[in-house]
């Protein structure tokens, strides 16, 4: 019987995940089916259990269910625990295992696809929501010189600083971890600036001071499909040399989930290239 997978979210019609996983399956010769599942806002757990009961092997989880998926899982990976959110579920012998592949996807896109060196870099992470939380640990593991988390609601950035400080210290890289507000960034410069806020979804950008980008710096917006977002426009005007959106992160987090489910790693480059070409003509 063909193994069944799906992405569950609400809304879900826009999701590119079914196409990405169909391409991975064709490329690696895996016999699997991957659909889009509209989750009921008041019935997420029931939909997941039904899917598993009917032979489902795994799910990707997207907005707004990542926290519920975390709560539903019987077991969670260390990176899902750190993120406090789950974007990948594996069903194994009646148990639900939760993982989070977003951070690994971002890191793979930054280091492999964009060729950035994060060891020794000064990184600025904008936002303190689920997406930001999920990438802190994977970024710290790359031994940057500093990781500054800046957020509109400053207390949320400071909470992340306090929560992750012991992890940063235990890694022994001497990485400075800072939580602050946007005003505190004046006079500082960074090698990589990552926008993990939802501002781009409403054609907005965090209010950043000028002079933020060091020579050859990169600006990365986790949002994709919105063209050059206000954040990326601001970064270009402020001298960022490399500008990237989150399409690569989307494809790479999918590849990480696919590898977890199927035990074989797909080649992401042709899939990313196809999606990129489609976005540029739409």
Residue closest to ligand NAP (Cβ) = 129
Q: Give me the active site residues, please.
A: 66
Q: Is 199 in the site for ligand NAP (CB under 6 A)?
A: yes
Token pair listed for 270: 């042709």
Q: How far is the CB of 122 from ligand NAP (least distance, A)?
A: 20
Q: Give the one residue of 147, 223, 257, 272 binding ligand NAP; rule: CB under 6 A.
A: 223
Q: Sketch the per residue contact string, 143 through 182, with ligand NAP: x for CB under 6 A, - otherwise.
A: --------xxx--x--------------------------
Single residue of 90, 131, 217, 272 touching ligand NAP by CB under 6 A: 131
User: Could you give phi then psi for residue 61, rounded to 5 degrees?
Assistant: -125, 130
**Which tokens hold the place of 205?**
């950008």
Rounded to 5 degrees, φ, ψ at 161 are -60, -50
Q: How far apart are CA 109 and CA 192, in angstroms?
A: 13
Q: Of the listed pieces 5-13, 167-175, 218-226, 260-268, which binds ligand NAP according to CB under 6 A? A: 218-226
Q: Which residue, 32 or 160, is less far from ligand NAP as judged by CB?
A: 160
* Strand-pair category, 56-61 with 88-92: antiparallel
Q: Which two tokens stand for residue 272?
A: 């990313």
- Cβ-contact 240, 217 below 8 angstroms: yes
Q: Distance (Å, rounded) from C-alpha 99 to C-alpha 87?
A: 6
Chain contacts with ligand NAP (rule: CB under 6 A): 102, 127-132, 151-153, 156, 196-199, 201, 204, 206, 222-224, 246, 249-250, 253
């Amino acid at each position: 019987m063909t193994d069944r997978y799906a992405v569950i979210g609400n809304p879900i019609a826009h999701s590119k995940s079914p196409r990405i996983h169909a391409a991975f399956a064709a490329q690696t010769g895996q016999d699997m089916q991957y659909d889009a599942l509209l989750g009921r806002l008041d019935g997420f757990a029931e939909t997941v259990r039904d899917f598993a009961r009917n032979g489902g092997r795994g799910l990707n989880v997207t907005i707004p269910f990542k926290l519920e998926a975390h709560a539903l899982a019987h077991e969670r990976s260390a990176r899902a625990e750190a993120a406090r959110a789950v974007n990948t579920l594996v069903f194994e012998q009646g148990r639900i295992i939760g993982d989070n592949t977003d951070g690994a996807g971002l890191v793979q896109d930054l280091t492999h696809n964009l060729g950035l060196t994060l060891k020794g870099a000064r990184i600025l992470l904008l936002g303190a929501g689920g997406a930001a939380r999920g990438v802190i640990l994977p970024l710290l593991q790359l031994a940057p010189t500093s990781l500054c988390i800046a957020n509109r609601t400053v207390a949320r950035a400071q909470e992340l600083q306090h929560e992750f400080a012991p992890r940063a210290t235990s890694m022994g890289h001497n990485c400075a971890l800072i939580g602050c507000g946007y005003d505190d960034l004046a006079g500082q410069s960074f090698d990589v600036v990552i926008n993990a806020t939802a501002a781009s979804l409403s054609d907005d950008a965090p209010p950043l001071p000028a002079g933020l980008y060091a020579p050859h710096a990169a600006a990365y917006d986790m949002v994709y499909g919105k063209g050059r977002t206000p954040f990326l426009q601001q970064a270009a005007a402020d001298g960022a040399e490399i500008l990237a959106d989150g399409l690569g992160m989307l494809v790479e987090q999918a590849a990480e989930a696919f590898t977890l489910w199927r035990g074989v790693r797909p080649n992401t480059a042709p899939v990313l290239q196809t999606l990129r070409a489609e976005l540029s003509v739409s």
